[in-house]
Structure 1
Amino acid sequence: MMTYKVERLGVTGALFCCFEHEGRVYSAQVDCVPFYGAAACTICPENGFDELYTMGDVPLTEAGLISCIEKFVKMKEVIR
């Protein structure tokens, strides 16, 4: 099981985490989406803004962010 260091970003309540999978580093963030009324998770390469994975209706909690990361990792493993 991986260990994640989740950090809070600013005053908006957003949560952020960098993680590694198969030698690549990614950043994951869950935050409230204006006009959507819920939170969403977005995963990008560490040094870029190209969205690789987005998941809506994610709880704005550490557990919600980690769940999003784990689903992304499972998806990457299936594609392999």
Structure 2
Amino acid sequence: MERLKSSKKRIIGLKQTIKAIKNGSAHTVYIANDVEESIKNSILEVCRGKEVEIVYIDTMKKLGEACGIEVNASCASLLND
């Protein structure tokens, strides 16, 4: 998770993460385990067939903290160089 906080090539949030996966620029996706199933499923569906590492974080609060923000985050991703 330290990579997530220190990386300058990261995005936070559902819409931006899905866009990055679709255009092939995301290599790692972080998903909070306590996010709604529909959100989790939509992210996983977009990841299917792509070479994207999926990392689960316990809670949206912990994911937000890992991103260095003071609000909860449902998902985030690291981008290719």
- More helix, by proportion: 2
Higher RCO (CA-CA < 8 Å; seq separation 6+): 2
In the superposition, the TM-score normalised over structure 1's length comes to: 0.29
Structure label with greater radius of gyration: 1
- More strand, by proportion: 1
In the superposition, the TM-score normalised over structure 2's length comes to: 0.29
